[in-house]
Amino acid sequence: MAPSLPPAASFDYAAFYCEENVLRLLSSPALAGRRAWALLVSNPGRSVAMRAQRAGRPPEGLVSWDYHVLAVALLEGPEGEAAYALDLDSLLAFPVRLADYLAGSFAAAADPAGRPLFRLVPAARYAAELASDRSHMRAPDGSWLVPPPSWEAPGGGRPSNLLDWIDMGKPSPGAVLDPAGLRAFAARPEAGDS
């Protein structure tokens, strides 16, 4: 039995604006008072293969993202409090235990350059500091690659920092973890408040 949360469809969602979806999800009343984080996924090559994604190809829902963002929250489940993934773009359960999400979303990369890296940012810091001007969603001619959501872009007009945050080599908020480090966090999430 999964923890009690409203269904994924009840949260604000705009396709291809995962960082903004997560910002709104982390700010929702459903997560008020819970320990939570934004989890940014990328790698130096900006090409991370993920399964079970809405935008992916059947039958596995496989897609290669330059980056992806989901939420992680400590929720009370059948075996006590545990880290759960909340990914509005995933075909997996909502929520799903973080360890199960990792197993269902990422295949072992044959090339080490293709393995995912994860930036774990506490929710309050993510909400306070994320800024995006959405310029990464514009074509060279200035047109939108995908129409933006109806709400205001995050950051209140501050310079965009999103691309710095998905660059796992740059010092930015949170801790950068490899897959083994994220699995260790999933087993002991109380250590994730950097």
The pLDDT value given to residue 189? 80
Structure-model confidence comparison of residues 1 and 64, the more confident one:
64
Q: Is 18 a catalytic residue?
A: yes
Among 12, 66, 87, 193, which one carries the catalytic annotation?
Answer: 87
Which of 102, 91, 116 is closest to 187 using CA atoms?
102
Going from N- to C-terminal start, the domains of the chain cover 8-188
| Mean pLDDT within 48-58 | 95
Fold of 8-188: C8orf32 fold (3.10.620)
In this prediction, residue 112 carries a pLDDT of 75
Q: Kind of pairing, strands 80-86 and 175-177?
A: unpaired
The predicted pLDDT at position 110 comes to 63
Active site residue 178: no
pLDDT-derived band at 77, boundaries 50, 70, 90: confident
Of 12, 18, 89, 164, the active-site residue reads 18
Predicted confidence at residue 108, as pLDDT, reads 73
Whole-number mean pLDDT of the chain? 93
In the residue annotation, 87 being an active-site residue is answered as yes
Query: How would you class 155 by CB atoms within 10 Å of its CB: exposed for 0-12, middle for 13-18, buried for 19 or more?
Result: middle
**Amino acid sitting at position 187:** A
Give tens-digit pLDDT for 116-167: 999 999 999 999 999 999 999 999 999 999 999 999 999 999 999 999 999 9
**Preceding amide of 148 cis, omega within 30:** no
Q: Is the pLDDT of residue 194 over 60?
A: no
Closest C-alpha to 90, from 102, 76, 79:
102
Catalytic residue among 12, 68, 133, 167: 68
Does residue 117 come out as left (phi exceeding 0), alpha (psi in the -120 to 50 range) or beta?
Answer: beta
Regarding predicted confidence, which is higher, 115 or 108? 115
Residue-level length of the chain: 194
pLDDT value, residue 113:
76
Residue in the structure block whose two tokens are 């691309």 = 163
Q: Is 107 exposed, middle or buried (0-12, 13-18, 19+ CB in 10 A)?
A: middle
pLDDT reported for residue 1:
56
Number of neighbouring beta carbons within 10 Å of residue 108: 7
